[in-house]
Structures are given as structure tokens and as C-alpha cells.
Amino acid sequence: MIRTAFVVAPLFLLLGVLGMKLGWKPNPDLDRTIALPLWTAAHLAYIVGNLAMFVVIATLWSRVRNAARHPAERIAVGGVALAGVVGTVAMTGQMVIDLVVGFRAGARSEMSAISRSIHELPGFEAFFYGVVPALGLTGVALLAVISAARRQMSFWVAGTFFVGALLIGSGVTVLMIIGGLTSCVTMPAMVRPGRDTPAADAGRVTVAS
């Protein structure tokens, strides 16, 4: 289940990006019979990816927490993980809200008005569409860096994922796709010990003996 989550999370988030950035956004004149399924599929992909992200965050948090050297470090790691969870909740909520908007609208032209009415609810704009959703990917990137510092994964994996997260956060379509592809390679590698990790060293000792 854990290994699957590390594959599913980046893959389905990338599918969501591709559906929205290459399918929905550049084609405002799509017929509703095509537009609504595309909108729905892209947002469902985002939701599946974000649900898997909860497993990713929990796994990385547990790993780095167990390697913490003192209580203050455990608290700091817990704060990073909590920020990641809050961000992922916000992003998942954003996708659910967008799905509701899509199904309530009779046409694409009506979506903006419906969305605006929802955004006017107290706190909705700030939590679901502000900087909060970005905390999800940020939390994972920081946990990966901490894990690498504790020699629990290769530095190239954590570093490359961190760069990919920055590209995704740029909001630029091409960079987001590159970042998404990068995460599809690096996130699954997070569950495998790197050459410089204690687990890998133990494995070499066992083979040698």
C-alpha cells in the first residue's frame, strides 16, 4: 500500500495537471459533452493523487520522527508534517468544490458566477485557493530533505524532488509538467534506501557475510 501510494500520488497529480492545463484551459469552446467529463476526470485525478499524498506524508513523517535526536526535533518534524496535511486537505477541498461548480453549471460560461458565489463564503478563498494548498507539496519536499539529511534516502532523490516541487509551484504549464514528471521518478524512489543510507549499508554487509 505504501509503495503504491508513492507511485499513485505523483502520477495522478500529473494527470490532473495535463487534463486541466492541456485539455481544459486552452479549449474554451469545447462542447459540454466533452468539457464536463474532462473537467471531472482531471479533478478526480487530483483527488486520488492527494489522497495518496496523505499516505506519503504519514510515511515520511514516521520515518524522520523515529530518527529525531531530541524532542524539539520531533516537534519541528511534526509541524512540517502537519503543514503538509493541512495543505493537502485544502487542495483536496479545492478539487471537490470545483467538481460541485462543474456539475451545478449548465454551461462553462456559468461556472465563474457559481464559483464566485462560493468564494465569497467566509474563509473559503483564503483556505482553499490561497497559499494553503501549496503547503502539501512543500511539506513533502521538506520531509524528504530532512530524511536525506538523516541518511534515510539518497540526496539526489530529495534534492531533485525539491526542485520538481518548485517547478510545480511556479504555475507555469511547461514547468509544472516537467516538475510532475520529475516527481513521478523521484517520489517512488523515496521508499527505496539509497546507496548512502544505513539500510543499504546493512544490505551490503549481509551479502558480504
Dump the DSSP string for 73-133: HHHHHHHHHHHHHHHHHHHHHHHHHHHHHHHH-SSHHHHHHHHHHHHTSTTHHHHHHSSGG
Residue 137 near residue 86 (C-beta atoms within 8 A): no
Q: What is the pLDDT of residue 148?
A: 93
pLDDT of 198 over the 50 cut: no
What are the grid coordinates assigned to 164, written together?
Answer: 520538481
Instruction: List, in order, residues 6 or more apart from 99 with CB less than 8 Å away.
Output: 39, 40, 43, 44
124-150 residue pLDDT tens: 888 998 899 999 999 999 999 999 998
pLDDT of 199 over the 60 cut: no
Q: What is the pLDDT of residue 28?
A: 86
pLDDT of 39 over the 90 cut: yes
For the beta carbon of residue 67, count every other beta carbon within 10 angstroms: 17
CA 135 to chain centre: 9
62-111 residue pLDDT tens: 999 988 888 888 999 999 999 999 999 999 999 999 999 998 888 888 88
Measured between alpha carbons, how far is 54 from 49 in angstroms, rounded to an integer? 9
Q: What is the pLDDT of residue 67?
A: 84
For the beta carbon of residue 25, count every other beta carbon within 10 angstroms: 10
Measured between alpha carbons, how far is 81 from 54 in angstroms, rounded to an integer? 10
Q: What is the pLDDT of residue 204?
A: 38
Average pLDDT, whole number, for the chain? 88
Mean of the pLDDT values across residues 193-207?
41
The residue segments making up the domain with residue 160 are: 2-208
Mean of the pLDDT values across residues 155-165?
95
Total number of domains constituting the chain: 1
Residue 152 near residue 137 (C-beta atoms within 8 A): no
Residue 62 near residue 76 (C-beta atoms within 8 A): no
End-to-end CA distance of the chain: 32
Q: pLDDT higher for 195 or 33?
A: 33
